[in-house]
Amino acid sequence: MVQVNRILCAVDFSDYSPSVASYAQALAKCMNAEIIVLYVAPSLNQYVGFHVPPSSIENFVGEIVSGAEMTMDTFIDENFTDVSVTGRVATGYAAEEILETAHNEKVDMIVIGTHGRKGIDRILFGSVAEKVVKGSACPVLTIRPQS
């Protein structure tokens, strides 16, 4: 029988993130699993060399992470009840950080939202969810926004 003990819930704090959290919580309650909620802030390393001092970039990223940690606490309080939840904030490329966290934390499932981009938006922005699905060693539940 399949055991799901740890669920990674990847969020971006958009208006749609509570819906993703709702699915993760429902699964965790059914399976008596714990949840790791992950938000990935951009590292901004690609901006080094654009006449922006590295110390300014580091300070800016530090402020983003600090704000994200406060947002994470509020997000968990507002969206999770009666389940074991841990919040994490990472910096880097979202898909890579999600896959690395899933591997390091030995999660049994990933729950992630997808924006359902098409056409030029998909070409320009890519799909974090698609990269996670293709690279994950565990099942991935993708939640698409309702129109």
* Nearest one of 38, 16, 20 to 104, comparing CA atoms: 38
The answer to whether residue 51 is domain-embedded is yes
Mean pLDDT of all residues in the chain? 86
**Structure-block tokens of residue 99:** 């896959």
Is residue 98 included in any domain, yes or no? yes
CA separation (Å) from 48 to 95, 101, 117, 135? 21, 25, 29, 28
Question: Each residue of 113-139: pLDDT tens digit?
Answer: 987 555 655 554 568 999 999 999 999
User: 60 lies in which domain range?
Assistant: 6-143
Half-sphere exposure of 97 (CA within 13 A, CB side): 19
Q: For residue 132, is it within any domain?
A: yes
- Checking if the pLDDT of 45 tops 90, the result is no
What pLDDT is stored for residue 97 in this prediction? 96
At 64-110, the pLDDT tens digits run 778 889 999 999 999 999 999 999 999 889 999 999 999 999 999 99
Number of domains in the chain: 1
CATH code of the domain containing 43: 3.40.50.620
Within-domain flag for 1: no
The per-residue pLDDT for 81 is 93
Residue 54 has pLDDT above 60, yes or no: no
